[in-house]
Structure 1
Amino acid sequence: MNDHEGRPAGLRERTRRAVQAEIVATAMRLFLERGFEATTMEQIAGEIGISRRSLFRYFGTKEDIVLGDHAESGRVLQAALEARPAGEPPWDALRAALKTLFESLPYSPEDFLKITGMLHASPSLRARQLEKRQQWTELLVPDIARRLGTDSDPMTQLRAGALVACALACSEAATEAWVRSNGTVDMERAFDEAVAAVRG
């Protein structure tokens, strides 16, 4: 199937993804150099060499640029969880899946620290991040419900939802501790401490 310009639809989609990737890379560089709040959509468009209108065809807001890959990260997390052994306890499976996600991120530890610090410093980004985390919860609950037994039972669904929400909250608490320490706290240990506190 071809689009209206005669290009194969697959090529059009690949071109779109390439432009999106360029926008994200450029915007993240500007955000880290100038700060999230101080960087405008006009500056991002100008840096790339496209019009502001063209930029808005790809991303409606600055928050979308930063958190746009959160949906993809959710799918990576879901796949990592589903790849864990069927008999593995839920907490262990979630911990391993979160570790896989962290190791798959395309950033150096230094850049990830800056990006995470930026997320935590911006109220608008934090609000959107919470929205995205809810989507992650919905992706992870079915696997955890299966691990708990009867996944069609409403109480099993409730327990699975609570477990996933707690694991993500522990991950967030560990990440915050890591950011506050300027990267000196071991994130895995911080996660384990948070989980121990919840389970204790």
Structure 2
Amino acid sequence: MADTSRPRRATPSTLRDRTRQAMRAEVSAVAFRLFAEQGFDKTTVDQIAAEAGLSRATFFRYFGTKEDVVLGDLEDLGRDVAGRLAERPADERPWDSLRRAFDALTDFNADEPENALAYVRMLYEAPSLKARHWEKQQAWQELLVPEVARRLGTDPAAAEDPRARALVSSALACKDAATDAWTACNGAVPLAVLIDRAMGALTA
């Protein structure tokens, strides 16, 4: 799947940052193995910490909640989607720009589709995860609306003009519908194709 983003400047990281990222990745790998073996709800923080060789207190230095182990990448992914939206051509229709911004999501899932499908199924099966996922994705709106408003030539804070928020909300709903279909067909149709179909339905 083509990556339409421009090259990004690397952000220098400190040794402490890299160590923290490595530890988070290690704990996440342990947690996901346990989630796959016994389910999210039946896996406790104490089990994850013990398997990772950490104390419970140390676990909470890296993750605020058990849900954050699963959903921690969503904030970074939302910023990536927003970044790709900002990079789209200025004369492109906002709806088309939003679609291309979702390439961040499809590219993220393309490398390991089976793991991505398992991840989505876990979200659906654990109510606490599904609710937390919804909360985090709502934050994507606040990242995307200002850029869409700018492209429309409007003020994102103007209460009397709902166009930017309507476009972003609709695009995210299409993305969710496509993800549901992708899970239901067990990944037989690529997520990118399903997002095209969902978003295309609103412009047919």
- Whether TM-score is above 0.5 comes out as yes
Match of 1:184 in 2: 188
Match of 1:112 in 2: 116
Structure 2 stretches lacking a partner, 5+ long: 1-12
Deviations 1:153-194 (A, max 9, x none): 726852111111110111011001111111123323322332
Q: Is 1:168 aligned to 2:172, yes or no? A: yes
Deviations 1:22-47 (A, max 9, x none): 11222122212322112111111111
Deviations 1:80-131 (A, max 9, x none): 1111111111111111110233203485101101011111121111111111
1:145 Cα shift? 0.7
State the one-letter code of the partner of 1:178.
Answer: W
Q: Considering Cα pairs closer than 8 Å and 6+ residues apart, tell me whether 1 or 2 has the greater RCO.
A: 2
The SS at the match of 2:188 is coil
1:10 Cα shift? 2.9
Q: Is 1:91 aligned to 2:106, yes or no? A: no
The SS at the match of 2:183 is helix
TM-score, length of structure 2 as denominator length:
0.85
CA RMSD across the alignment: 2.1
Seen in structure 2, the aligned counterparts of structure 1 residues 29 and 70 have a Cα distance that, compared at 3 Å, is same
Seen in structure 2, the aligned counterparts of structure 1 residues 152 and 135 have a Cα distance that, compared at 3 Å, is closer
Match of 2:152 in 1: 148
Pick aligned residue for 2:131 from 127, 142, 154: 127
Q: Is 1:68 aligned to 2:85, yes or no? A: no
Assess if the C-alpha contact under 8 Å between 2:85 and 2:97 holds in 1: yes
1:152 Cα shift? 5.5
Pick aligned residue for 1:25 from 22, 26, 29: 29
Match of 2:4 in 1: none
Assess if the C-alpha contact under 8 Å between 1:113 and 1:183 holds in 2: yes
TM-score, length of structure 1 as denominator length:
0.87
The SS at the match of 1:60 is coil
1:186, 1:20 → 2: CA distance?
A: 29
Paired residues, number: 192
Assess if the C-alpha contact under 8 Å between 2:182 and 2:189 holds in 1: yes
Q: Among all aligned residue pairs of Structure 1 and Structure 2, give the percentage whose two residues are the same amino acid.
A: 51
